[in-house]
A and B are shown apart, each in its own frame.
Chain A
Amino acid sequence: MSSNETANFKTVNKRVTKVDALGLSCGKAEFADDISIPNMLHGKILWSPHAHARIKSIDTSAAEKVPGVKAVLTYKNVPAIRHTTAGQGYPEPSPYDSLIFDSKVRFVGDKVAAVAAETLEAATEAVSKIKVEYEILPAVFSITDAMKDGAPVIHDEKDAKNIPDPKHNVCAKFDLDINDGNWFKNADYVFENTYHTQYAQHCALEPHTTLAWLDPNGRLFIRTSTQVPFHVRRIVAQALNIPIKKIRVMKPRIGGGFGSKQEIFLEQVVSALVLATKQPVKIEFTRKEVFISSRTRHPSMTKLKTGVTKDGVITDMDMEIYINNGAYGAHALTVMMCAGSHSLPLYQARNNRFMGRTVYTNLPVAGAYRGYGATQAFFPTECQMDMMAEAIGMDPIEFRLKNYIKQGEGSPIFKAMGEGGEGVEQVITSCGIQKCIEKGLQEFKWSEKKKKYAAQTGTKRRGIGVACSMQGSGIPEVDMASATIKINDDGSFNLNLDATDIGTGSDTVLAQIAAEVLTVPTDKIIVYSSDTDLTPFDVGAYASSTTFISGNAVRKTAMLVRDMIIKVASSILNEKPENLRLENGFAVASDGKKKCSLAEVALSSLYFKHQHQICATASHTAHTSPPPFAAHFAEVEVDTETGELKVLDYVATVDCGTAINPALAEGQNDGAVMNGLSYALCEELEFNSKGAMVNPNFRSYRIFTAHDAPPVRSFLVPTYEPDGPFGAKSVSEIGINGPIPALSNAIYNATGARLFNPPFTPDKILRAIKEKGAKK
């Protein structure tokens, strides 16, 4: 199929209403916390008050005596099997450094014990009565301190696996050097700067919640707010040492994820309580618990050295990134790898060096977060692009257009760096970055604004900034998705799959893909996701994989079902299969005269002739990960006396190939961009000197409200990706990469002051302006 055929789509590329929107708008959709079952106990967890301590003794006797308490679990009475909480494919590239409960705690908010009781009050009271005596250990909170010789060793346990250098708290490392022997020799200008990104949280509105119980046959059923049902099943089985066949994981509606629910830290605790009590148990995190003990974005420190020639050729890219993983190494290697593998190929430099180190500290645990390393890395690269362009007197747009990776080009980085080590060679088969830039320039009125702001006076200065980025579409040769489609009597279809709709709209998008192949309206496709007993395997909702990988699986499955339908229709119509096609829900002969409906086909196959269920399952893996591309444009006004910043305009263009559902794709981009703007300007987890988070609520950890939100304008720039289902690539993550560099560039354009450390709060902006003034 070619891009010309996109015009003929019947349901794909249409603004089909989200299949679950009405139920959600009526408050009827069921989230994990919306179901309670008889005899259900309430669980509560005791959190470590210390950043680093060994448990000398733990006395649960008073807790056990609280009326209604059914179980108290500590490291003494749960299995001690090291695992990772990162919900990744098997074998996970993250270190096995976590236990359900350990005799050592490694951050304020680490799990110490759990209680199940008849009421939440009893569970809460019991938790407060657990007596723990700690031996406080020296703690370490910064990347540089953690890597020093003689630093406190956070993971000194003997049974941990896959920690490259525990003595220096290094939980992942990677080195790459591709050069022609002439490092920086061809550069006319060299820039070297250090950039920081901060601790932040996903802030999905639904707190993490898990309900589990035993079915009458003793199987463990887990209904949980997750992005990764199959990984939950596998990791809970591993952590509790029970067979996978004994576990069933079900995903209800999920109230947002953004990576936070790609982690398995609550399910094994609730499951252990169920096994101990033989009763159903539910734990719902409070917001404070989400903040202090769930997962965060990996903070980072990046040293970027780049070289450029006078005529605008980027000669060298040398990136050293240090990533803070907090107390456990969830996604330690992969986030660091994605920092390099997503950012370095965007512009073609002859020499590339990447050094990545991910480090343990005694702070909250970082995990997957929308952007996944790319956000951390595009900040330095996109700021440096502007610096290089300025040095050679070239327009920053022109400079980017000169150097970006074009359609038909490859990059040595693709082969050299994958998520967990070596990557997969690939050539860019669709690249809309130029179109993104052109669309953005026009919508943003770049030239007009550039001219207008060239000569400003007064205390309020305006400026404009640009940033480009790319992401992936799934993990090549790692991610796998499958789908099952069966026909019903009335010619409707069940689409059962484990692609995990966490609010992303994937149920709708995947139904549209099936509907397109089967030539029916989307409402004839009944989507069910996800249930490990009923739906075929899919890795889950992460790595921008759903539309691209799961979408291809759905398309293949639908094509198999289409062929089965044609076969039955052939017998009904007495026509050769090769003369039949599907059209508007009918099998139609090529002469256009003979036809039969899908309901007739279904009834014939189910009740009358050669009786069988028309049903198929297909799977998909990809050998490439076609990047979506984005160009963002920011206009700011800075009060140079107060440091106050206003975002006056923000245009975010994205090339996601064919948007299967443009309304949902725009929504993904809007949300990612706003999350990025909020991160760039106001979000940061703050800690006291003992490593305790001091702002664990929405009043002091501010995320943008509708009132604060800057005006964001999203534009989809269509391309056609030949490897994608109907030309689609990913869209969910990329939008979060642009705001930090676009704003840093815009602030520089407005004031001449460069900010290297978001969030760009007024005090930091003012300080940077003053420092710049002092230098003059």
Chain B
Amino acid sequence: MTKAIESKNDIFEIEFTLNGAKKAFRAGAGETLLELLRREGYRGTKRGCDTGDCGSCTVLIDGRSMLSCMMLAVQADGRSVTTIEGIGGPADPHPIQQAFVESGAVQCGFCIPGMILVTKELLDSNPEPTDAEIRQALDGNLCRCTGYVKQVEAVKNAAKKMSQKAKR
């Protein structure tokens, strides 16, 4: 959703690290981080419910997964925000992105950026999660296409890829 922030007086100048680079933004007082990110062209962050229930809008704030529809943009001031675009792109995908592709975990793909960011948070703190831990981690991210079967496989494959990479 795009807000015409220019027409309002309650505009805040904020600054946060976005995908590794410090950036300045003008944020409306009531604007969510999701709205700001999408307005700024970070459209990999998806809007699925606006009520904090589906997980499609997940971003990492200082490495922790957060629902960007549930926080104000101004709350990101001074923090470090990572969106799916900051994880990797088609030319240099992150091992988690590769694992999701290779495991057949992507159907419509709308929930996938959120799933991948949650996976990153999980694997950063727990490089060898059990199935139960994976399912617990993905619990806030709804998917209607896959039945979660291949997504759990994808997380396991991602864990393998990341540990191999770490060993090298």
Q: Which chain A residues have a beta carbon within 8 Å of chain B's beta carbons?
A: 15, 17-18, 20-31, 33-34, 36, 42, 68, 118-121, 202-207, 253-256, 258, 284, 286-287, 502-505, 663-664, 666-667, 670-675, 697-699, 703, 705-709, 712, 714
Cβ of B85 under 8 Å from chain A: yes
Closest chain B residue to A735 by CB distance?
A: B147
Q: How far is the CB of A683 from chain B (nearest CB, A)?
A: 11
Complex alpha-carbon distance, A118 and B45, angstroms: 24
Q: Is the CB of B4 within 8 A of A206?
A: no
Cβ of B68 under 8 Å from chain A: no
Q: How far is the CB of B163 from chain A (nearest CB, A)?
A: 20
Q: Is the CB of A505 within 8 A of B43?
A: no
Cβ of B54 under 8 Å from chain A: yes
Q: Is the CB of A502 within 8 A of B138?
A: no
Residues in B neighbouring A29, C-beta threshold 8 A: 109
Q: Please judge, given known A-B contacts A36-B2, A667-B146, whether A287 and B56 are in contact too, CB under 8 Å.
A: no
Q: Which 4 A-B pairs have the closest CB atoms?
A: A27-B44, A503-B108, A24-B109, A674-B147
Residues in A neighbouring B127, C-beta threshold 8 A: none
Q: Is the CB of B145 within 8 A of A26?
A: no
Q: Is the CB of A258 within 8 A of B144?
A: yes
- Count chain A CB atoms within 10 A of each CB in B42, B89, B93 and give the residue with the most: B89
Closest chain A residue to B87 by CB distance?
A: A26
Closest chain A residue to B131 by CB distance?
A: A711
Q: Which of B42-93 contact A (CB under 8 A)?
A: 42-51, 53-54, 56, 83-85, 87-90, 93
Q: Could you list 12 examples of A-B contacts with CB < 8 Å?
A: A17-B101, A20-B109, A26-B85, A33-B43, A205-B110, A206-B108, A663-B150, A664-B104, A666-B150, A670-B150, A674-B149, A697-B51
Having A33-B43, A118-B4, A253-B108, one finds 20 other A-B pairs with CB under 8 Å, namely A15-B104, A17-B102, A21-B109, A22-B97, A24-B108, A25-B97, A25-B109, A26-B90, A27-B45, A36-B2, A202-B144, A207-B48, A503-B108, A503-B110, A664-B104, A671-B144, A697-B51, A698-B53, A707-B135, A712-B149
Complex alpha-carbon distance, A670 and B107, angstroms: 11
Cβ of B3 under 8 Å from chain A: yes
Cβ of B32 under 8 Å from chain A: no
Q: Which chain B residues have a beta carbon within 8 Å of chain A's beta carbons?
A: 1-4, 7, 42-51, 53-54, 56, 83-85, 87-90, 93, 97, 100-102, 104, 106-113, 116, 134-136, 138-152
Closest chain B residue to A31 by CB distance?
A: B110
Q: Is the CB of B142 within 8 A of A698?
A: yes
Complex alpha-carbon distance, A388 and B144, angstroms: 35
Complex alpha-carbon distance, A546 and B88, angstroms: 32
Q: Please judge, given known A-B contacts A502-B108, A671-B107, whether A256 and B90 are in contact too, CB under 8 Å.
A: no
Q: Is the CB of B109 within 8 A of A666?
A: no
Q: Is the CB of A21 within 8 A of B53?
A: no
Q: How far is the CB of A506 from chain B (nearest CB, A)?
A: 11
Q: Please judge, given known A-B contacts A24-B112, A204-B108, A256-B110, whether A286 and B147 are in contact too, CB under 8 Å.
A: no
Q: Is the CB of B90 within 8 A of A505?
A: no
Specify which of A121, A256, A707 is in contact with B108 (CB 8 Å cutoff): A256
Residues in B neighbouring A502, C-beta threshold 8 A: 108
Q: Is the CB of A205 within 8 A of B48?
A: yes
Q: Please judge, given known A-B contacts A20-B109, A256-B108, A698-B142, whether A671 and B147 are in contact too, CB under 8 Å.
A: yes
Q: Please judge, given known A-B contacts A28-B89, A503-B108, A663-B104, whether A205 and B46 are in contact too, CB under 8 Å.
A: yes
Interface residues of chain B: helix, strand, loop or mixed (majority): loop
Complex alpha-carbon distance, A708 and B93, angstroms: 30
Residues in A neighbouring B89, C-beta threshold 8 A: 26, 28
Complex alpha-carbon distance, A504 and B146, angstroms: 10
Residues in A neighbouring B50, C-beta threshold 8 A: 286-287
Closest chain B residue to A24 by CB distance?
A: B109
Closest chain B residue to A282 by CB distance?
A: B2
Q: Please judge, given known A-B contacts A118-B4, A205-B111, A255-B108, whether A25 and B116 are in contact too, CB under 8 Å.
A: yes
Closest chain A residue to B110 by CB distance?
A: A255
Q: Please judge, given known A-B contacts A25-B106, A25-B109, A670-B150, whether A256 and B93 are in contact too, CB under 8 Å.
A: no
Specify which of A30, A120, A256, A284 is in contact with B43 (CB 8 Å cutoff): A30
- Count chain A CB atoms within 10 A of each CB in B7, B108, B149, B151 and give the residue with the most: B108
Residues in A neighbouring B141, C-beta threshold 8 A: 705-706
Residues in A neighbouring B51, C-beta threshold 8 A: 287, 697-699
Q: Is the CB of B110 within 8 A of A674?
A: no
Residues in B neighbouring A671, C-beta threshold 8 A: 107, 144-147
Q: Please judge, given known A-B contacts A205-B54, A709-B148, whether A284 and B1 are in contact too, CB under 8 Å.
A: yes
Q: Is the CB of A670 within 8 A of B109?
A: no
Q: Is the CB of B139 within 8 A of A707?
A: yes
Residues in A neighbouring B42, C-beta threshold 8 A: 27
Q: How far is the CB of B105 from chain A (nearest CB, A)?
A: 8
Q: Is the CB of B107 within 8 A of A505?
A: yes
Residues in B neighbouring A205, C-beta threshold 8 A: 46, 48, 54, 56, 108, 110-111, 142-144
Q: Is the CB of B106 within 8 A of A21?
A: yes
Closest chain B residue to A665 by CB distance?
A: B104
Q: Is the CB of A27 within 8 A of B49?
A: no
Q: Is the CB of A256 within 8 A of B102?
A: no
Specify which of A25, A34, A666 is in contact with B100 (CB 8 Å cutoff): A25
- Count chain B CB atoms within 10 A of each CB in A207, A664, A712 and give the residue with the most: A207
Q: How far is the CB of A472 from chain B (nearest CB, A)?
A: 21
Q: How far is the CB of A36 from chain B (nearest CB, A)?
A: 6
Q: Is the CB of B148 within 8 A of A706?
A: yes
Complex alpha-carbon distance, A20 and B53, angstroms: 26
Specify which of A30, A34, A119, A714 is in contact with B7 (CB 8 Å cutoff): A119
Specify which of A15, A207, A663, A673 is in contact with B147 (CB 8 Å cutoff): A673
Q: Is the CB of B139 within 8 A of A705?
A: yes
Q: Please judge, given known A-B contacts A24-B106, A34-B43, A36-B2, whether A705 and B145 are in contact too, CB under 8 Å.
A: no
Complex alpha-carbon distance, A33 and B7, angstroms: 23
- Count chain A CB atoms within 10 A of each CB in B47, B145, B149 and give the residue with the most: B145
Q: Is the CB of A23 within 8 A of B147?
A: no
Q: Is the CB of B107 within 8 A of A25?
A: no
Residues in B neighbouring A42, C-beta threshold 8 A: 2
Residues in A neighbouring B110, C-beta threshold 8 A: 31, 204-206, 255-256, 503
Closest chain A residue to B84 by CB distance?
A: A27
Q: Is the CB of A121 within 8 A of B3?
A: yes
Q: How far is the CB of B140 from chain A (nearest CB, A)?
A: 7
Complex alpha-carbon distance, A671 and B107, angstroms: 10
Complex alpha-carbon distance, A21 and B152, angstroms: 16
